[in-house]
């Protein structure tokens, strides 16, 4: 009976494939799990109060953050630093946050000795106090970080720290 | 092109002829559903192997990381719960199918000459499956696996003479620890599966030699392909379907709280397929070696000797004896599991302990999700938790006298601590200091009640004083009384003046004044209700700043716990009382 034989044959092949797929599909999804996990840009962290910042005097703050490694959470430790630059009264943003990581090759950028600009000690990349390029060493200006102000009379300044790819002309978040 | 490649491969490997040999293998008497049992067992083991390899890519074998990695698999990874659940239920499936497979070999008479070695390999496979269950169960390092392994290794340790040495070698020391996990892990992921594959391979070779076992005297034969192939795959798919359904129904396999060697009331149970042995322990109380050694040893020896029975008694009787032996063991196991489950279901203590274990597990998972596992290891997930650890201490040390909202004191003889240090607590105290929730149970502390009788403050004024006093609880630990009193926000506090007029007659505020000026002695209120004040109260309630004055009156006072609790425990306890813990809605993380 060819019909019956065909049924067995096709049935066996179908069931075999079904069985393999039922294990393989969840298995592949499980293995690819890391693709779905973002390293997360972090949260806004309070650094200071607006009133403590003075126009023309950028101040450096460490970013303290917790680190998660799969299931383990490590306690808070410094992961980077930012410059907070108070803007003159009436500007659109009252304060600008600049990542202290040099957009050239990621050295930490301090103020120049005259405190009128930022000057990277590694390859002399030079930036204005707003972070714009003065020379061509870096491919872009210093990276601005998102700032949030609380609603208080003397608002808290909150910054979300993020890292960006060095060297490229555009500001691209690191993975 | 494809054909040439295939021909080349076949020429070099003989794959095609092998496939033909397998597919055309004759089945005496035709295809049968019963024959599919072995294939279903093999494919279930294959599922365990694949899911096991997947789990291995995440699992981390050490006593500090194992629980965290299994938590991560179960609650954080894509379909991790499914993979782990399938692995776990797959192991149950393998035990069931392995048992049925052995049973069938005996019933159809395929265990004896010329198939003795088939039988030994099959029995070995079954024992290996059980071994994989035992070694795998401990790997999550949760309460369930930890205590089950405790019971199981103690059974091994009860072996006369060599037992203790065996146990020490298995555990890698006299206590459970890192060495235990690494050893069980090595057995579970390489030694036992390796032996299992070897057994399976040898079985397949012998099967190739001897073929299917058909009914006696069957003349006809049918090739394996396609009917028996369909039966085989249908049976495997059905098995996988049941296992997947179980996994879905229970949403994977649960994870208990991290292993806690100090727990006193965890209801330890072995895996369900060892329940019969556990039950026998109760039956043979006092003569436990019967349950741990004689009976299991007898069963294993019986299994191994079964095919040789023919040599000593007539074939027919040997068959009947073998069948009765297998049926008796299977039935006894079934009944004993039933009895064990029934007893547990009816036992009040078991249900209570199990409910507590479940609550601990839920809390551990909540904390791991909120906080992650601390770097020190998974034991600290609950060990550092104010709700769990603090609640435990409260129950042991405080609850005799204090209640805390719903947690009623055994013999209330002290204030209720619910909301201690909060505005509501202070306001309630000022309203009715003599109520049982405040100083009603402690007549030696009647100062507040005396004040209340003479005080003229209106409700609005009481609100203001209460707000002022409640603010003491927020004084940071590094602020001195002088600094604090100098703060303009304190100076201008609307409740301050009233406080000076009413409360300061008895209570000092960090600046010890002239005792004779006070109407009657009372605790100093600087930073009252803050963690440091509360910790001092627990450590040394008789200190001059707190209730030292009761000492002079020779009145009963709270005992000091300074020598009994570590500093860490005291601060954990304070956080518990103040509701300062993750998930409480107000606590810090
Ligand atoms: S890294 Fe800053 S200039 Fe090169």
- CB contact, 8 Å: A20 with chain B? no
Together in a domain, B96 and B200: yes
β-sheet bridge partners, residue B374: none
- Strands across the sheet with A72-86, in order? A59-69, A72-86, A95-99, A144-145
Q: How far does A68 lie from chain B, in Å, by closest CA?
A: 7
Contact between A30 and B372 using a beta-carbon 8 Å cutoff: no
- CB contact, 8 Å: B375 with chain A? yes
Residue B291 lies in a domain: no
Together in a domain, B50 and B131: yes
How far is residue B465's CA from residue B498's CA, in Å, rounded to a whole number? Answer: 6
Within 10 A of B408 (CB to CB), how many other CB atoms are there?
A: 11
The packing angle between helices B459-471 and B423-431, to 10°, is 140
Q: Give the H or E element holding residue A145.
A: strand A144-145
Together in a domain, B359 and B469: no
Burial of B299 (0-12, 13-18, 19+ CB in 10 A): middle
Mean pLDDT of A118-140: 93
How far is residue A97's CA from residue A83's CA, in Å, rounded to a whole number? Answer: 6
Structural contact between residues B68 and B32, judged by C-beta atoms closer than 8 angstroms = no
Question: How many helices, marked H, and strands, marked E, lie in chain A?
Answer: 2, 9
Burial of A107 (0-12, 13-18, 19+ CB in 10 A): middle
Can you give the three-state secondary structure of B371-420, one letter per residue?
HCECCCCCHHHHHCCHHHHHHHHHHHHHCCCCCECCECCCCCCCCCCCCC
Together in a domain, B427 and B572: yes
CA angle B438, B439, B443 (to 5 degrees): 165
Closest CA to A94 of A84, A103, A104, A82: A84
What percent of chain A is predicted at pLDDT more than 90? 54
Tokens of A169: 């002309």
Together in a domain, B313 and B358: no
β-sheet bridge partners, residue A101: A108
How far is residue A10's CA from residue A23's CA, in Å, rounded to a whole number? Answer: 20
Suggest the residue from A20, A30, A36, A73 to mutate for an interface test with chain B (most B CBs closer than 10 A): A30
How far is residue B83's CA from residue B80's CA, in Å, rounded to a whole number? Answer: 5
Residue B246 lies in a domain: yes
Residue ranges, chain B, pLDDT below 70? 512-518, 585-589
Tokens of B309: 């029975």
Together in a domain, B229 and B278: no
Within 10 A of B516 (CB to CB), how many other CB atoms are there?
A: 5
Judging contacts by C-beta atoms under 8 Å, the chain A residues touching residue B242 are none
Together in a domain, B365 and B399: no
pLDDT tens figures, B520-538:
788 888 889 899 899 999 9
Residue B570 lies in a domain: yes
How far is residue A91's CA from residue A32's CA, in Å, rounded to a whole number? Answer: 47
At residue B588, the pLDDT reads 41
Whether residue B246 has a cis bond before it, omega within 30° of 0: no
- CB contact, 8 Å: A68 with chain B? yes
Within 10 A of B520 (CB to CB), how many other CB atoms are there?
A: 11
Judging contacts by C-beta atoms under 8 Å, the chain A residues touching residue B79 are 26, 29-30, 33
Mean pLDDT of A1-10: 83
Q: How far does A32 lie from chain B, in Å, by closest CA?
A: 8
Tokens of A152: 């208080």
How far is residue A140's CA from residue B558's CA, in Å, rounded to a whole number? Answer: 67
What are phi and psi for residue A126, nearest 5 degrees?
A: -125, 135
How far is residue A129's CA from residue A69's CA, in Å, rounded to a whole number? Answer: 36
DSSP B586: S
Q: Which range is most confident: A52-66, A81-95, B87-101? A: B87-101
How far is residue B536's CA from residue B586's CA, in Å, rounded to a whole number? Answer: 23
Strands B26-28 and B221-223, bridge-based pairing: antiparallel
Together in a domain, B337 and B470: no
pLDDT tens figures, B290-347:
888 889 899 999 999 999 998 899 989 999 999 999 999 999 999 999 999 999 999 9
Structural contact between residues B368 and B71, judged by C-beta atoms closer than 8 angstroms = yes
Choosing from A83, A103, A105, A143 the residue with most ligand 1 atoms within 8 A of its CB, the one to mutate for a pocket test is: A105
Residue B218 lies in a domain: yes
- CB contact, 8 Å: A67 with chain B? no
Burial of B381 (0-12, 13-18, 19+ CB in 10 A): buried
Expressed as residue numbers, the domain containing B332 is 270-286+305-346
Q: How far is the CA of A94 from the centre of ligand 1 (A)?
A: 28
Residue B293 lies in a domain: no
What are phi and psi for residue A45, nearest 5 degrees?
A: -120, 140
Together in a domain, B79 and B169: yes
Structural contact between residues B97 and B41, judged by C-beta atoms closer than 8 angstroms = yes
At residue B505, the pLDDT reads 83
How far is residue B280's CA from residue A2's CA, in Å, rounded to a whole number? Answer: 56
State the complex-level ipTM: 0.80
Structural contact between residues A99 and A145, judged by C-beta atoms closer than 8 angstroms = yes
Tokens of B62: 């050490």
β-sheet bridge partners, residue B28: B221
Q: Which SS3 state, helix, strand or coil, does residue A118 take?
A: strand
CATH number attached to the domain at A44-160: 2.102.10.10
Choosing from A100, A102, A108, A139 the residue with most ligand 1 atoms within 8 A of its CB, the one to mutate for a pocket test is: A102
Tokens of B495: 């409740």
What are phi and psi for residue B149, nearest 5 degrees?
A: -65, -35
Phi-psi region of B523 (alpha: psi -120 to 50; beta: other; left: phi over 0): beta
Domain boundary among the residues B337, B356, B376 is at B376
Domain count, chain B: 4
DSSP B2: H
Least CB–CB distance from A73: residue in B47, B51, B371: B371
At residue B587, the pLDDT reads 43
Judging contacts by C-beta atoms under 8 Å, the chain A residues touching residue B368 are 71
Structural contact between residues B430 and B421, judged by C-beta atoms closer than 8 angstroms = no
At residue A39, the pLDDT reads 62
Judging contacts by C-beta atoms under 8 Å, the chain B residues touching residue A18 are 237
Together in a domain, B100 and B157: yes
Strands A118-119 and A95-99, bridge-based pairing: unpaired
How far is residue B423's CA from residue B102's CA, in Å, rounded to a whole number? Answer: 71
At residue B589, the pLDDT reads 38
CA angle B474, B478, B483 (to 5 degrees): 80
Within 10 A of A65 (CB to CB), how many other CB atoms are there?
A: 16
Within 10 A of B261 (CB to CB), how many other CB atoms are there?
A: 12
Mean pLDDT of A32-49: 81
Residue B11 lies in a domain: no
CA B461 remoteness from chain centre: 53
Window from A145-149, A169-173, B146-150, B287-291 with minimum mean pLDDT: B287-291
Residue B556 lies in a domain: yes
Name residues whose C-beta falls within 8 Å of residue B79's C-beta, 6 or more positions apart in sequence. A26, A29, A30, A33
Per-residue pLDDT band at A175 (split at 50, 70, 90): low
Together in a domain, B216 and B316: no
Together in a domain, B310 and B196: no
Residue B17 lies in a domain: no
Contact between B78 and A33 using a beta-carbon 8 Å cutoff: yes
């Amino acid at each position: 009976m060819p019909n019956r034989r065909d049924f067995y044959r096709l049935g066996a092949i179908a069931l075999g494939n079904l069985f393999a797929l039922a294990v393989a599909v969840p298995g592949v999804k499980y293995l690819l799990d890391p693709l779905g996990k973002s390293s997360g840009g972090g949260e806004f962290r309070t650094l200071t109060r607006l009133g403590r910042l003075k126009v023309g005097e950028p101040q450096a703050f460490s970013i303290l953050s917790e680190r998660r490694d799969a299931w383990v959470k490590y306690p808070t430790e410094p992961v980077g630093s930012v410059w907070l630059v108070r803007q003159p009264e009436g500007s659109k943003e009252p304060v600008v946050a600049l990542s202290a990581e040099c957009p050239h090759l990621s050295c930490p950028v301090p103020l120049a000795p005259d405190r009128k600009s930022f000057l990277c000690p590694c390859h002399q990349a030079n930036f204005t106090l707003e972070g714009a390029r003065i020379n061509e060493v870096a491919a872009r200006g210093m990276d601005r970080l998102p700032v949030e102000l609380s609603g208080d009379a003397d608002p808290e300044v909150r910054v979300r720290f993020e890292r960006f790819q060095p060297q490229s002309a555009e500001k691209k978040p690191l993975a | 092109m494809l054909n040439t490649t295939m021909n080349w491969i076949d020429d070099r490997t003989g794959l095609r002829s092998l496939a033909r040999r397998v597919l055309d293998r004759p089945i005496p008497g035709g295809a049968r559903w019963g024959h599919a049992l072995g294939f279903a067992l093999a494919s279930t083991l294959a599922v365990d192997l694949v899911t096991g390899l997947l789990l291995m890519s995440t699992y981390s074998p050490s006593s500090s990381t194992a629980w965290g990695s299994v938590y991560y698999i179960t609650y954080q990874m894509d379909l991790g719960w499914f993979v782990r659940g399938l692995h776990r239920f797959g192991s149950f499936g393998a035990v069931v199918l392995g048992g049925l497979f052995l049973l069938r070999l005996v019933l159809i008479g395929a265990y004896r000459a010329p198939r003795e070695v088939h039988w030994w390999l099959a029995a070995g496979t079954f024992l290996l499956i059980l071994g994989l269950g035992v070694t795998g169960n401990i790997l999550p390092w949760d309460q369930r696996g930890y205590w089950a392994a405790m019971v199981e290794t103690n059974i091994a340790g009860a072996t006369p003479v060599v037992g203790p040495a065996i146990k020490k070698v298995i555990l890698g020391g006299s206590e459970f620890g890192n060495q235990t996990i690494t050893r069980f892990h090595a057995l579970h992921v390489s030694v036992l599966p390796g032996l299992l594959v070897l057994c399976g391979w040898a079985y397949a070779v012998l099967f190739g030699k001897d073929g299917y076992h058909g009914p006696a005297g069957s003349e006809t034969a049918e090739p394996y392909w396609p009917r028996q192939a369909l039966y085989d795959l249908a049976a495997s798919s059905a098995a996988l379907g049941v296992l997947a359904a179980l996994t879905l129904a229970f949403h994977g396999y649960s994870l208990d709280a991290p292993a806690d060697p100090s727990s006193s009331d965890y209801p330890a149970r072995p895996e369900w397929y060892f329940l019969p042995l556990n039950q026998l322990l109760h039956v043979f109380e006092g003569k436990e070696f019967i349950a741990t050694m004689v009976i299991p040893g007898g069963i294993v020896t019986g299994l191994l000797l079964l095919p040789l029975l023919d040599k000593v008694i007539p074939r027919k009787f040997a068959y009947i004896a073998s069948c009765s032996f297998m049926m008796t063991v299977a039935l006894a196991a079934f009944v004993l599991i039933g009895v064990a489950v029934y007893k547990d279901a009816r036992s009040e203590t078991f249900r209570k302990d199990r409910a507590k274990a479940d609550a601990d597990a839920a809390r551990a998972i909540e904390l791991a999700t909120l906080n992650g596992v601390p770097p020190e290891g998974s034991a600290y997930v609950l060990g550092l938790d104010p709700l769990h650890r603090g609640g435990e201490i409260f129950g042991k040390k405080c609850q005799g006298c204090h209640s805390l909202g719903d947690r009623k004191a055994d013999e209330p003889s002290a204030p209720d601590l619910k909301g201690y240090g909060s505005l509501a607590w202070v306001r309630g105290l000022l309203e009715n200091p003599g109520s049982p929730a405040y100083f009603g149970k402690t007549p030696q502390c009647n100062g507040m009640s005396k004040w209340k009788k003479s005080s003229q403050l209106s409700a609005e004024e009481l609100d203001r004083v209460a707000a002022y006093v409640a603010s003491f609880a927020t004084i940071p630990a590094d602020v001195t009384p002088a600094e604090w009193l100098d703060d303009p926000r304190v100076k201008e506090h609307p409740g301050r003046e009233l406080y000076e007029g009413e409360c300061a007659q008895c209570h000092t505020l960090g600046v010890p004044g002239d005792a004779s000026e006070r109407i009657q002695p009372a605790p100093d209120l600087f930073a009252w209700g803050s963690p440091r004040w509360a910790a001092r109260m627990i450590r040394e309630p008789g200190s001059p700043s707190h209730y030292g004055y009761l000492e002079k009156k020779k009145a009963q006072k709270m005992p000091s716990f300074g020598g009994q609790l570590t500093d860490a425990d005291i601060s954990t306890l304070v956080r518990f009382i103040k509701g300062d813990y993750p998930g409480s809605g107000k606590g810090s993380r």
